[in-house]
Copies of this chain bind each other. A is one copy, B any other.
Amino acid sequence: MRKTTQSKQVQSAPVAFERPAPRRVALVGFGNVGSAVAKILCERTDGLPRLTHICNRNFERKKQPWVPGDVIWTDDFQTILHSDADIIVELIGGLTPAEDLVRGALKAGKAVVTANKQLIARHGPDLLQLASASGSQLEFGASVAGGVPVLPALRTGLCGDRLHGIAGILNGTCNYILSRIESDRIPFSEALEEAQARGYAEADASEDLDGGDARAKLSILALAGLQVRANPADIRARSIRAIDAVDFDYAAELGCTVRQISRADLKDQTLFAEVGPSLVPTSSPFGRVQRNLNLVMTSGEYGGDVAFLGAGAGGDPTAVAVVSDLMFVAENLASGPRPQRRLQLGSPRVSCDFETPWYLRLVVKDQPGIIASLASILSAHHLNIDAILQKPGFEKTALPFVITLEPSRDGQLQPALQEMSALPFAVRPCLCLPILR
């Protein structure tokens, strides 16, 4: 029996290993990433899928001389859905109308490649199920960390491990701002303005600064790496807006710097997950990430820690991720419908109740008895002080100083913080950052 199967395989080889016929690609969304994808497809001549359609509003003003004349331009999704394209690349972003387009394409049996993090973070499990049911494929390697191939690595080189944790610097805007404050001790507002002037931050940067962008990405990493559903809305996001130059001075005293860290740890039936500014050792991979780069670190039961570093955004790097997915999908199409792994996702409780040491930075109007008041609140909540740091040279009316705490749970700390912020000498709410080791 076995012998027969083998010789059949051998006989079919000359056909099987011809280069597959180039697949037909429709690109929806011809912005920064879309035009970079088109450029790679038009420039590379080594058997990539062929660009056949481009869909964009007001496409007339978008037309480029380097796009071949036989590519069909349209502003109508229906034209794309009813076209002979095998693969739809969705690069319009956001939920509406991207969701309808992706669902429509999958239902029509077309493969979909998308870079849409909001869509995958919210509806990824559902859309993967739909792709399976339609005998189609859905790939989203560009939706997290742009040109850093962490999602493809989770699909291939790391699938042999059993991962229990993922942490990353997933938002280039925050990293740019924080590493600029670090290097020149400029105020937060100045770093933000600089990032906006350089095109690293939007005019309304809330989605970046307040963690909305990063938690969507963390949710996708948890889906692909930890095989769990985690609604981004259930992941706590703390803003980086309260970070100022003085925090880098105090962090340095502790051998640390400050970065926006997204992390998810799966323990039993709980996913500990959060996004927010954190103290990280300057000697750690996280502490060294500069400018708008991204870093993702996975932790596995067998393989230990693996780190990925590269450009998290930008048209060209993101386009590499999209084209890589296109090539993967095209190869799969060439071998007929491919049995996907059944989607077996856990649905753990999502909690931000990490146990960790803490950095508390207070700004007070100096007066006698401050430490005593604070120490008594902390003690009442069974929180142990590790160190008290106070740098000279500040105004007595707005004196920043730092208390570090021994490891304790987030849930144990929060009530103490509330009490501390209500104290009469507190000029600003206490800034509270986890210290990662």
Contacts and interface: CB of A to CB of B under 8 A. Distances in A.
Contacts of A322: 160
A341 B331 contact: yes
Interface string A131-168: 01111100001000001111111011111111000000
Contacts of A19: 339, 341-342
Interface string A1-29: 01001110111110011111000000000
A319 to B, nearest CB: 6
A324 B158 contact: yes
A84 interface: yes
Nearest to A323: B160
Copies in the complex: 2
Interface string A84-110: 100000000000000000000000111
A148 B162 CA distance: 15
Interface stretch (A297-305, A368-376, A388-396): A297-305
A382 interface: no
B303 A147 contact: yes
Interface stretch (A212-220, A261-269, A309-317): A309-317
A390 B115 CA distance: 55
Contacts of A308: 306-309
Nearest to A39: B302
A344 B9 CA distance: 22
Contacts of A134: 9-10, 13
Contact of A320 (B149, B160, B321, B325): B160
Contacts of A342: 17-19
A40 B160 contact: yes
A317 B157 CA distance: 11
A179 to B, nearest CB: 13
Given A12-B135, A109-B6, A303-B311, A149 B141 contact: no
A6 B335 CA distance: 14
A65 to B, nearest CB: 20
Given A17-B342, A155-B156, A335-B337, A317 B304 contact: yes
A62 interface: no
Given A153-B152, A160-B321, A339 B135 contact: no
Contacts of A153: 149, 152-153, 156-157
Interface of A: 2, 5-7, 9-13, 16-20, 36, 40, 44, 46-47, 84, 108-110, 132-136, 141, 147-153, 155-162, 285, 288, 300, 302-311, 316-317, 319-328, 331-332, 334-342, 344
